[in-house]
């Protein structure tokens, strides 16, 4: 492989941040209310990525769309990996670990307060530590500004009231400045920060001789004449050979925020991203010799644990599920009828390109279970079993009586148009009306497995397969 093509992570890997330690690259992203949160991805070339763990294992007891883990910063310092993130209803939090695969410390609140988001630390050469963050107007009443604190070197807390170092209300054309990433290069302090909103925004760079400013700014990446809207919010990283690269997201609606990789060079003391400030769709590999890989999607449920691609919509109860004999068994537990409000939905990211998803499903006892595509709206194909019979249902389609297990699935076509599928003995066929997948709160749509009921029933899922159309 001598070239790569964007996006390098073609699914909802929102607000990426990236570091290099030796020859290895690591990345984490926002996960909002998903549990587990803060996935850790590994790569040897910035293009091929695998999931190796999660840094946060808890969340909320109930479903709270758009809350939770926002815009993390990943760093390596003093022999430990550190992640700082904002919980807009709690404050700035941090976790750390000696090994990225864990165990991680429990989340610690570095600075409490509503609306504190998008933190990033920097440990300077003199031993002083700093923390920069943005503001969420929905909680704090203000945004479009960056605040800097002196911080305890162990990340236990901030040491002052904070200094406003960038007031973007004073910068012509700026709105919603957020997501700052703080760096130091050759004695100059840099803040890479996006502005303009996730769909139509851009990436700016700010530089200063003192960490407290004054900062001068320049837009370093914007859509221009390309089809890559809102190219911003990410991280700068170098390679062992001395190259420089920038990973950022593009908002794609129901697909979420997919990740692009841009080359970066230095001209006249400023970074230049992509092709003279516009995103590139392809280019030479940053590092040769990498192994072709993508984050896992399919799962044969062979255990001993669920694949790392899966997450719940709130804190899971161990009684909800088990892996047994190469199957996933979901208990038909009570809860909200609306799947968007049900913690026990097991989901994963919707692939950013056309694909077909299938799994074989049976019901043992009374209940309802199936495959859903969830965002702000949702639809599903499911089995329903009562004392009298078992039927296959999908929207307004006529229920189909079935015996035993059934293969159910969905084809996600261009534009995230979903056609549900089922095989009741005559091959895999379309069922129900097409459904347009929609984004969720700050996230893309998800593929979800669910089981509902009020008795002792359980749903039995066999191999979950995602076939991408290349």
d(CA 46, CA 8) in angstroms, rounded, equals: 8
Selection from 396, 390, 385 nearest residue 420 by Cα:
396
d(CA 444, CA 437) in angstroms, rounded, equals: 9
Catalytic residue at 15? yes
Q: Is the dihedral of CA 153, 156, 161, 167 positive or negative?
A: positive
Element containing residue 383 per DSSP (H, E): strand 378-385
Selection from 330, 199, 286 nearest residue 23 by Cα:
286
State the residue for tokens 């807009």.
88
Task: Work out the end-to-end distance of the chain between its first and last CA atoms, rounded to an integer number of angstroms.
Answer: 17
C-alpha atoms less than 13 angstroms from C-alpha of 379 in its C-beta half-sphere:
23
Radius of gyration in angstroms for the set of CA atoms belonging to the chain, rounded to a whole number: 23
d(CA 362, CA 192) in angstroms, rounded, equals: 51
Q: Are 336 and 343 in contact (CB under 8 A)?
A: no
Burial of 97 (0-12, 13-18, 19+ CB in 10 A): middle
State the residue for tokens 């973007």.
168
- Which one of the listed residues 178, 251, 384, 462 is annotated catalytic? 178
Catalytic residue at 160? no
Q: Are 222 and 205 in contact (CB under 8 A)?
A: no
- Which one of the listed residues 12, 15, 45, 462 is annotated catalytic? 15
Q: Is the dihedral of CA 277, 283, 289, 293 positive or negative?
A: positive
d(CA 235, CA 378) in angstroms, rounded, equals: 33
Pull the structure tokens for residue 397. 């389609």
What is the set of active-site residues?
15, 178
């Amino acid at each position: 492989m001598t070239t790569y093509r964007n996006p390098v992570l073609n699914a909802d890997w929102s607000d990426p941040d990236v570091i290099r330690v030796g020859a290895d690259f690591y990345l984490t992203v926002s996960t909002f209310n998903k549990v587990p949160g803060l996935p850790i991805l590994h790569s040897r070339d910035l293009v091929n990525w695998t999931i190796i763990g999660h840094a946060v294992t808890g969340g909320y007891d109930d479903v709270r769309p758009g809350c939770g883990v926002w815009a993390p910063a990943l760093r390596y310092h003093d022999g430990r990996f550190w992640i700082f993130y904002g919980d807009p209803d709690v404050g700035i939090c941090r976790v750390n670990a000696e090994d990225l695969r864990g165990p991680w410390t429990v989340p610690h609140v570095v600075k409490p307060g509503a609306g504190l988001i998008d933190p990033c630390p920097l440990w300077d050469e003199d031993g002083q530590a700093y923390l920069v963050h943005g503001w969420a107007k929905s909680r704090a009443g203000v945004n479009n500004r960056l605040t800097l604190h002196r911080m305890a070197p162990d990340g236990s807390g901030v040491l002052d009231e904070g200094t406003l170092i960038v007031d973007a209300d004073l910068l012509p054309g700026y709105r919603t400045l957020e997501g700052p990433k703080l760096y130091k290069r050759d004695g100059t302090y840099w803040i890479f920060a996006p502005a303009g909103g996730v769909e139509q925004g851009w990436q700016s760079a700010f530089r200063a001789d003192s960490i407290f400013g004054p900062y001068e700014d320049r837009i370093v990446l914007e859509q221009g004449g390309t089809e890559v809207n809102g190219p911003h919010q990410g991280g700068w990283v170098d390679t062992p050979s001395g190259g420089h690269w920038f990973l950022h997201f593009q908002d794609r609606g129901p697909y979420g925020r997919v990740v692009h990789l841009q080359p970066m060079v230095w001209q006249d003391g400023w970074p230049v991203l992509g092709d003279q400030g516009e995103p590139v769709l392809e280019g030479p590999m940053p590092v040769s010799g990498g192994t072709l890989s993508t984050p896992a999607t399919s799962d044969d449920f062979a255990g001993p644990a669920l694949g790392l691609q899966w997450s719940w919509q709130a804190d899971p109860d161990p009684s909800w599920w088990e892996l047994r004999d190469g199957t996933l068994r979901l208990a038909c537990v009570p809860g909200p009828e609306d799947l968007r409000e049900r913690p026990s939905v097991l989901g994963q990211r919707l692939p950013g390109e056309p694909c077909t998803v299938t799994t074989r499903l049976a019901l043992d006892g009374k209940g309802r279970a199936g495959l859903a595509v969830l965002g702000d709206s949702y639809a599903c194909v499911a089995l329903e079993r009562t004392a009298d019979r078992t039927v296959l249902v999908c929207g307004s389609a006529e229920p189909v009586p079935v015996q035993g297990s059934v293969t159910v699935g969905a084809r996600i076509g261009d534009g995230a148009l979903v056609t549900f599928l089922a095989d009741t003995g005559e091959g895999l066929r379309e069922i129900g009306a097409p459904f347009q997948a929609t984004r969720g709160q700050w996230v893309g749509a998800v593929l979800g497995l669910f089981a509902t009921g009020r008795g002792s029933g359980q749903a039995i899922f066999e191999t979950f397969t995602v076939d991408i159309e290349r």
